[in-house]
Amino acid sequence: MELQIYLNGKLVPKSEAKISVFDHGLLYGDGVFEGIRSYDCLVFRLMEHIDRLFESAHTITLKVGMTKEELRDAVITTLKANRLRDAYIRLVVTRGPGDLGLDPNKCKAPTIFIIADKITLYPDALYKKGLDIVTVPTVRNLPEALNPSIKSLNYLNNILAKIEANNSGFSEALMLNASGYVAECTGENVFAVKCGELLTPPAYIGALEGITRHSIIELAEKLKVPFCEKPLTRHDLYNADEAFLTGTAAEVVPVVKLDGRVIGTGKPGPVTHKLTQAFHALTKTCGVKYKL
Ligand code: PMP
């Protein structure tokens, strides 16, 4: 059966899930989104994702036109329609169709769509070996210009960074802010471990407040791993004992090399391992359940 897409209140087959070329999500990147995972019929932290979506929408004065509960039900309906136990879910709200000017007031109603599909997992070897990443010249958007806490459809800043990493033969990029502090990667938050302490930059440095990041911080507290949120430089990462990235799609990925400098032993470390195990356990318990 063809994949069923939720589009503006209805389920439609993938081949018929089309939006207007006048949609401002397409013309201007004017919209917000979430990337969500379901694990064995449990949508991990679904309400937290919906809360973040509403916050992003509020900041860009985009009226979602559905309640949080209606959106939750729409996500579950989409998963059920496609009989998916484990999925990657893309929830998107755009400004909707308007005219060729960028004035959002000309857009009458938002476009809402939900794609739930099978996930393509990163290869196992990546998690065992760890990532080798590079710092790129493109800095993260200035929070004063476009706050990285808004999960908007405008990802060119991150895409430019990805292109720079790819051009240098790397698959992931470390992005700094305009003052040279570590911000995040193109789609993941960054953590370091130094002398047993877990470190991550505060969101005001220029990072998205990741839901995986938040889960890892909670787990660190539970597991009595000392934690500190503070600005980090590349020097801090080069000289860390361990480093890892967090994101919904990637989960927890160890980083073993940055800009040619080996981090710690050059292998995924024990704190990363402990937090990864705890994170996997959390994905089995924390979220909204559904039945197929
Ligand atoms: N930073 C950026 C720029 C992202 O796009 C994402 C989500 N892919 C993250 C961090 C991680 O956030 P989350 O853990 O909520 O997926």
**Based on C-alpha coordinates, what's the Rg of the chain?**
19
Nearest residue (CA) to ligand 1, atom 8: 187
Ligand 1 center–CA 248 separation, angstroms: 7
Q: Which residues have C-beta atoms less than 6 Å from ligand 1?
A: 35, 158, 184, 187-189, 208, 210-213, 246-248
DSSP at 86: S
Give the tens place of pLDDT for each residue, 7-66.
Answer: 999 999 999 999 999 999 999 999 999 999 999 999 999 999 999 999 999 999 999 999
Is the pTM for the entire model greater than 0.85?
yes
Mutate to test the pocket of ligand 1, among 159, 208, 276, 286 (most ligand atoms within 8 A of CB): 208
The residues annotated with a catalytic role in the active site are 151
Q: Residue 64: which region, alpha, beta or left (left: phi > 0; alpha: psi -120 to 50)?
A: alpha
- Which helix (H) or strand (E) segment holds residue 46: the answer is helix 46-59
Nearest residue (CA) to ligand 1, atom 12: 210
Tell me the residue type at 83: R
CA–CA distances in Å: residue 155 to residues 51, 103, 220? 20, 20, 30
Q: For the chain, what percent of residues have pLDDT higher than 90?
A: 98
Q: How many Å separate Cα 268 from the centre of its chain? A: 22
Give the tens place of pLDDT for each residue, 173-226.
Answer: 999 999 999 999 999 999 999 999 999 999 999 999 999 999 999 999 999 999
Residue 211 bridge partners (DSSP): none
Give the domains, in start order, of the chain with CATH numbers.
4-117 (3.30.470.10), 124-282 (3.20.10.10)
What distance in Å separates the CA atoms of residue 235 and residue 83, rounded to the nearest whole number?
A: 47
Ligand 1 center–CA 189 separation, angstroms: 6
Nearest residue (CA) to ligand 1, atom 4: 187
Nearest residue (CA) to ligand 1, atom 13: 210
